[in-house]
Amino acid sequence: MSFVPGQPVTAVVQRIEIQKLRQGNNLILGFSIGGGIDQDPGQNPFSEDKTDKGIYVTRITPGGPADVAGLMMGDKIMQVNGWDMTMVTHDKARKRLTKKNEDVVRLLVTRKSLEEAVKQSMGGFPRP
């Protein structure tokens, strides 16, 4: 999922809607993120391209809202509620996900298996 500067980024994404869970005074989503444009992309274990500075899901609490909604570890988050997450700092990403006045976050995530699935499904049919 590397990008060429100046060209639009295309990816196969899955839409995931997570309901925030209220725990005491906090609304939690049940997963952890890593990455960002101010972070070191070489240490990201989930990215294929080690220069990719996007936001990745690094951990999912089993049984939490994200797990229930179908989010998987290693997913790259492309949008949150319409806001772009491919070129944000780590702190900005955190803030976009943890807005107190939102109960629901709608994520667009991409993963390698999605690309594979689309390729397989497209390659299996002869093109008209």
Which spans of this chain sit near another protein (rule: CB under 8 A)?
28-29, 31-35, 38-40, 43-44, 58-59, 90, 94, 97-98
When the beta carbons of 58 and 79 are compared against another protein, the nearer one is 58
The sign of the CA dihedral 83, 8, 42, 44 is positive
Pairing label, strands 83-84, 104-110: unpaired
Beta carbon of residue 34, minimum distance to another protein (angstroms, whole number): 5
Which structure tokens are listed for 87? 């070129």
Pairing label, strands 26-28, 31-34: unpaired
Beta carbon of residue 84, minimum distance to another protein (angstroms, whole number): 17
Beta carbon of residue 122, minimum distance to another protein (angstroms, whole number): 34
